[in-house]
Amino acid sequence: MDTKTINIGIIGLGTIGTGVVKILQENQKIIQNRLGAKIKISRIADLDLTTDRGISLNPSILTTQAIEIVNDSDISIVVELIGGEEPAATYILKAIKQGKNIVTANKSLLSTRGPEIYQASYDHKVDIGFEGSVCGGIPVIRAIKDGLSANRISLIYGILNGTANYILTKMSDEGISFNKALIEAKKLGYAEADPALDVNGKDTTHKLSILLSLIYRKQFRPDDIYTEGITHIEPVDIEFARELGYRIKLLAIFKEEDGEIEARVHPTLIPAESLLAHVNGVYNAAFIAGDAVGSTMFYGQGAGMMPAGSAVVSDIISISRNILNGSNGQNIPLFTKNYSTIKLKNKNQTKCKYYLRFSAQDRPGVLSQISGILGKNNISISSVIQRGRQVKGAVPIFMLTHEAVEKDMDKALQEIDALLVTLDGTTVVRIEDQFNNLA
């Protein structure tokens, strides 16, 4: 019996693309056995065909013209790995129109133009796989689509950016500043030359937006999700959090409560004994709670050549299976009209506990002024520590609050930061400590 062959084309031979080629070459036999067919890389496009990537390729399959892959009638799966919005969107949409199945790891594209791409894939009866877009090698997209498909998913806490997690871990382990930790991350190749999206939280927000789109089958635009990065976190915050039994992580947070969705991305104090607090370095994890399954957590490497390549190749294999059994493009549309009217909660209305660090003059009455303003704004303090030592002429005052409404907190902080006795702005870190069932 002849072995069937699935021809694929890869657009973009950067880090992930190289990983995909390596995996398909090294695990060729094992994958062929699992699939019952061969996966053949029939064409690869990249603008740079000269850099040595440590892989051996037949030069005849290489091209600088991505459009050749889009137009190649032998290719059934186009793997887009160039990232960014354009020209990726154009290639993907053109390939879909030609009946090609798509695999991509392009989180910024999917979070912003997902609806258009999903609709096109439905209209043209092709599959689209994007496991690599969230949590790299960890099969979180599949968990939501398949493994937990029986559940109403009501909560996610995600550590979805390895660079930010590496920096926070390094700051925590060594007591160093954000800037020093960032330099270290760059040295080790964990941070790009421009790590802006990693440390300002936006990459995490793109990923959260994709997870939400899977859960609710409608788009939640990244711009509508409250996002805060980690650049303002100082070693003293990490140290104080630790003393109180917390770790600081950049979390993607999703909760459904009372028919509304809370979705936000910000540094967060979480209990030191929680599993998530033990997710360190470049590792990612998604803590997902469903009404039937209870608490689950998925852990692994969220980025890097081979982990991200693992996710992309798993999509290539799944879509190949569908092509072989004739079921590709047969799924119901990812986004359906009127499926869900649920909306994001107004940020002003969200409630949580807060960690606050004030920088104040070392004078009598300061604490009374600050706590007076908090009280007036319905914010109740659960603990306060004022340390004697001075930092640049100021005394830090640390506070934890009980649950408070965001709007009240905003107002209180405006008043406090306007006081003559406070210096700099107040550092605010939200707290999540309701890890139900999390042993």
Structure tokens at 9: 């084309």
From candidates 25, 26, 99, 175, binder to its own copies by CB under 8 A: 26
Which of 176, 419 has the CB closer to its own copies? Answer: 176
User: Smallest distance from the beta carbon of 159 to its own copies, in angstroms?
Assistant: 11
Contact 110, 130 (CB under 8 A): yes
Cα separation, 66 vs 400, whole angstroms: 54
Residue indicated by tokens 């799966």:
77
From candidates 1, 193, 292, 420, binder to its own copies by CB under 8 A: 292
* Using rule CB under 8 A, residue 15 touches its own copies: no
* Using rule CB under 8 A, residue 317 touches its own copies: yes
Report CA-CA distances (Å) from 431 to 314, 399, 400.
Answer: 36, 12, 9
* Using rule CB under 8 A, residue 319 touches its own copies: no
From candidates 25, 327, 346, 349, binder to its own copies by CB under 8 A: 327
Contact 264, 226 (CB under 8 A): yes
* Using rule CB under 8 A, residue 142 touches its own copies: yes
* Using rule CB under 8 A, residue 146 touches its own copies: yes
By C-alpha distance, which of 14, 126, 5 is closest to 74?
5
* Using rule CB under 8 A, residue 147 touches its own copies: yes
Contact 376, 439 (CB under 8 A): no
Residue 107 annotated as catalytic: no
> Which of 107, 207, 218, 255 is flagged as catalytic?
207
* Using rule CB under 8 A, residue 331 touches its own copies: yes
Contact 217, 339 (CB under 8 A): yes
Convert residues 161-190 into a mask of x (bound to its own copies by CB under 8 A) and - (unbound): --------x---------------------
**Region 45-104 residues binding its own copies, contact defined as CB under 8 A:** none
* Using rule CB under 8 A, residue 307 touches its own copies: yes
Would you name the residues annotated as active-site residues?
Answer: 207
Chain positions contacting its own copies, by CB under 8 A: 19, 22-23, 26-27, 30-31, 33-36, 131, 137-139, 142-143, 146-152, 169, 217, 273, 275, 278-281, 283, 290-301, 306-307, 309-314, 316-318, 321-322, 324-327, 330-332, 336, 339, 437, 439
